[in-house]
Structure 1
Amino acid sequence: MFAGHFGLAAAVKAKTPEVPLWALMLGTQLLDVAFVPLFIAGIETIEPVEGGGYGAHLIHADYTHSLLCALLVTIIAGLLAAKRWGKKGGLVFGSIVFSHWLLDLVVHRADLPLLPGNAGNFPVLGLGMWKYPYMTIAMEAVLITAGIIMYKRSVAFSADNTVRGKPLRLAAIAAMSVFLAAALAADVLGIG
């Protein structure tokens, strides 16, 4: 689902020029970034399942992807971003961080706990769109298309409007388009 997360960041950039694109991209993946050290330490795990491609792994991210931890990371990230990019920037950054959990809720099989470590043994959440690869591809394609269109508009309004600036705008738009298409291809092929 990397492409969908990144597509959303590109779309949000169009409406939030004060927050750099790199920060929005990082924000959409912040829960996964936090997952990596816990995965390396063996606290959170990934278990292969039948099928391949989308949802080829059962992710046991019982801390980083619990609803409570996602909310805590969202609040902390939003407050830190507000110090750097103002109140609006902080609110947008926090929202983009939490969007990761919301998009994961839609696509993941039931593997998202409410509380860290699945304390209380509550039912885990996940709507399981990964079971329907074509629907998932379509959703990600919509997100990246919207991201490219909105990013194109933001670049057009913010870039140098001289003859010299046009190649830079086109290069930025082309680079973002290639990046998002490659991310979608990686998701579809199960190599992301």
Structure 2
Amino acid sequence: MFVGHFGLAAAVKATQSRVPLWSLMLATQFLDVIFVVLYLAGGIESFQAVAPGTYGEALIDARYTHSLLGALLLSALYGSLSAWRWGRRTGWVLGAVVFSHWLLDLLVHRADLPLLPGNAGGLPLLGLGLWQVPWATAVVEGVLLVAGAVLYFRSVRQRAASTWRAIVSGGVMALLLVLGLAVDVLS
């Protein structure tokens, strides 16, 4: 769902022109950024291969960053820092984009997303497992990618002083999203 997250960020940028694009892109991956930090910090979080050679081949053990409560707390942190820097509205938008990562992961992950950090209480793990149906996952990511690119291109075109600038800006974003999808599918 790597590219799907970025497609969503592009769609949000289309409606929230004052929110910096880089902050939206970081927000969509913030849970994974913190996951990598915890992974490198002694394996607090980890992953293991479960079906090598398939889409979504890893079982993620992200019991802190990708727990429902952990995602809400990290969303609040990112949103608060963003509100301090760019204002309350932008903070809410960016906090929501951080949380959208968890919602999209819920759709594609196997049942490996806990409700509470560290899976406190041993509650059932969540995940609808769309990764187990590669063509369906590709369709969902493709729709997010295309919708985000189209919405972003249209918004830039409406805001740009010249049509040439809009075409270049929207084209670069669409190209980056398509390249990201290609890398995501091929890896």
TM-score between both structures, scaled by the size of structure 1: 0.93
Per-residue displacement from partner, 1:152-178 (whole Å, max 9, x unpaired)? 1121122222xxxx3332221121111
TM-score between both structures, scaled by the size of structure 2: 0.95
TM alignment of 1:47-126, pairs within 5 A: 47-126=48-127
- Conserved? CA contact 1:67–1:114, under 8 Å: yes
Cα distance in 2, alignment partners of residues 77 and 102 from structure 1: 16
Cα distance in 1, alignment partners of residues 35 and 78 from structure 2: 16
Residue 19 of structure 1 pairs with residue 19 of structure 2 = yes
Residue 187 of structure 1 pairs with residue 184 of structure 2 = yes
The corresponding residue for 1:157 is: 158
The corresponding residue for 2:46 is: 45
The corresponding residue for 1:139 is: 140
- Conserved? CA contact 1:44–1:62, under 8 Å: yes
Residue 167 of structure 1 pairs with residue 164 of structure 2 = yes
Aligned pair count reads 186
The corresponding residue for 2:3 is: 3
Cα distance in 1, alignment partners of residues 39 and 50 from structure 2: 18
The corresponding residue for 2:174 is: 177
- Conserved? CA contact 1:53–1:188, under 8 Å: no
Structure 1 residue 185 displacement after superposition? 1.4
Calculate percent identity across the aligned residue pairs: 56
Cα distance in 2, alignment partners of residues 119 and 145 from structure 1: 38
Cα distance in 1, alignment partners of residues 99 and 153 from structure 2: 24
Segments of 4+ moved more than 4 angstroms:
none
